[in-house]
Amino acid sequence: MPNVGDVETKFGRKYMFLNPDPMQGPGAWRLSHPDEYPGGPGGPGGGGIADIDGIPPIVASQDVSGATEVSMDITKLDDRQA
């Protein structure tokens, strides 16, 4: 059984185990916000997410400063016919 505040990564997303009111029922895994990660940097400007991926035709590119640009490249679309 997980403890309240445990964080797990599944399917490329982070989830935190919460139980806001133990008298109402069992806890649940909730999609977590970066500022809530234990030991994370948090604060204004981001929560330390370092890896952003895109699935074609979505493209994510990151420069050396850590700034990420997400765009759509239609040349990466497959050749499916309707």
Per residue in 10-47, pLDDT tens? 877 888 888 877 787 788 888 866 655 555 544 444 45
User: What percentage of the chain reaches a pLDDT higher than 70?
Assistant: 71
Q: Which of 42, 1, 3 shows the shortest CA–CA distance to 16? A: 3
What pLDDT does 43 receive?
Answer: 46
The pLDDT score that the predictor gives to residue 12 is 78
Please tell me the predicted confidence (pLDDT) of residue 6: 84
In this prediction, residue 52 carries a pLDDT of: 72
Q: Name 21's Cβ contacts closer than 8 Å, sequence gap at least 6.
A: none
User: Residue ranges per domain, the chain?
Assistant: 1-48, 50-82
